[in-house]
Structures are given as C-alpha cells and as structure tokens.
Amino acid sequence: MRMAQVSEHSGVPIATIKFYLREGLLPRGRRISTTQAEYGEEHLRRLRLIRALIQVGRMPVATAREVLAAVDDESLSQHQRLGAAAWALPGPVPPEQDGSGPDETEQARREVSALLARLGWQAAGPDSPPGQALTAAVATLARLGYPCDADHLALCARAAERTAEAELDLLESFPDRAAQVEASVALTVLYEPVLLSLRRLAHVEESARRFED
C-alpha cells in the first residue's frame, strides 16, 4: 500500500501522515525504491491509534510518542506496557498555586493516600502519574471550596474497580500480547469520552427528576 492509499483508507491527509512519520509516531514503510515505500495494515491501525490519542485523548504529540514507544517496547513488562497510557496521559496539570493560603495540595495528598490505603490499592501510589493527577484534581476542588467527600470518592473508586475488571477481561480476550497492549491504550483513551458523556447524561436525567415540573 502506498502512502496515498493509507491516506485514503484512513481519511488522514497525506501531509499529516508525513508529519507523523517525521515526528516518529508512525513507523516508516518498507522502502521499495528511492521514492516509494510500502505500508501495511499495521500502519493503518497505528494511524488510527495516533488519531485517537491526539484528537480524542487530546494528547500532545510528544506524549503520544512516549506512549507509543512504551507500547512498542518489548523489553517492558506486560503490566508496564498496559499502563503506558495511564502513566503518560495525565500531563502534570499546573497546580495553579495560589501564593497565599493553606497548601491544599499537601492536604489532598494525604486524602489520596488514605483513600488508596482504604481501597487496598498498592500498585500505584499517590506519587505515580495518575496518583498525582488525582491529588491535583482533589486539591483544585478544595481550592474552589468544594470539599471532596472521602466516602463518595471510595464509592466512585469501587465503581471504577468493577469497570476496570470488565475492561481487563475484554483485553484478555485478545489473542496476542501486542494486540492487548494496543487495545489497552486505545480503550483507556477512547472510553473516557464515553464515561464522561454517560455522567453528563445521568446528571441531566437526575436533575430533570428533581427540578423539572
């Protein structure tokens, strides 16, 4: 398959494909001659994954490159590769430090620590990327004056636990480890808008029940 065909099948402009090649997101095709290269199905899948990471996951190109590198790195453990997106995606959201006032971040870190202990989660501490992201989010809530109820958090965490099990089950249904890794990254990113939309819909529904005539 030539680059033009890749573009046609994926809907991604040729110039953008060249850009991804240059940035190291998409591996080069097998060179046929000085001016031609051959691309296969795996390039198409990788291209769709790139688009998912960047457009749906709003991931910066540099971050996507790291995630894809982890996906391709066979020297990593399966666990590390599966977690690539989880570890790379929560770009350190600038904590918006307020010069004065109490340090909400420190308080939030303690709450997160307590929550993880209570849940019995040990694989990722409060200083892992997703743990830091959670801490930052809780701190932001506190800074705006909305305390984060620990019980409510635990409830949501349990729900997340159950959906994580279901998703891991789905992952294990894939034949080879490479496909599992790719699916893990894709599902991590692509399910987020699904879950957020469901939450919004649930809000609207519940609000209608309570406030609509």
Partner DNA sequence: CATGATTGGATAGTGCCACTTTCCAACACT
Partner DNA sequence: AGTGTTGGAAAGTGGCACTATCCAATCATG
| Closest separation in Å from C-beta 115 to a copy of itself | 9
The two structure tokens encoding residue 210: 């309570």
Least distance from a copy of itself to the Cβ atom of residue 96, Å:
6
Least CB distance to a copy of itself at residue 38 (A): 21
Taking the C-alpha atoms of residue 29 and residue 36, their distance in angstroms, rounded to an integer, is: 9
Give the other-Cβ count within 10 Å of 184's Cβ.
Answer: 23
Residue 138 CB, shortest distance to DNA, in Å, is: 22
Half-sphere exposure of 207 (CA within 13 A, CB side): 6
Interaction residues for DNA, span 25-54 (CB under 7 A): 28-29, 31-37, 39, 54
> Binding string to DNA for residues 48 to 87, with x set by CB under 7 A, is what?
------xx----xxx-------------------------
Q: Out of 11, 15, 22, 75, which residue is the one contacting a copy of itself (CB under 8 A)? A: 11
- Residues within window 102-161 making contact with DNA, judged by CB under 7 A: none
Name 33's bridge partners: 36
Site string for a copy of itself, 126-145 (x = CB under 8 A): --x-xx-xx-xxx-xx-xxx
Burial 77-98 (b: 16+ CB within 10 A, else e): eeeebbbbbbebbbeeeebeee
Tell me how far apart the terminal alpha carbons of the chain are, to the nearest angstrom.
Answer: 59
- Mapped onto helix, strand or coil, the DSSP state of residue 139 is helix
Residue 68 as a binder of a copy of itself (CB under 8 A): the answer is: no
* Both structure tokens of 179: 């496909």
118, containing H or E segment: helix 104-119
| Pick from 6, 65, 11: nearest CA to 37 | 6
# residues near DNA by CB under 7 A: 26
Restricting to residues 75-134, name those near a copy of itself by CB under 8 A.
77-79, 82-83, 86-87, 89-90, 93-94, 96-100, 116, 121-124, 128, 130-131, 133-134
User: Using CB under 7 A as the criterion, which residues of the chain lie in contact with DNA when the complex forms?
Assistant: 2-4, 13-16, 18-19, 21-22, 28-29, 31-37, 39, 54-55, 60-62
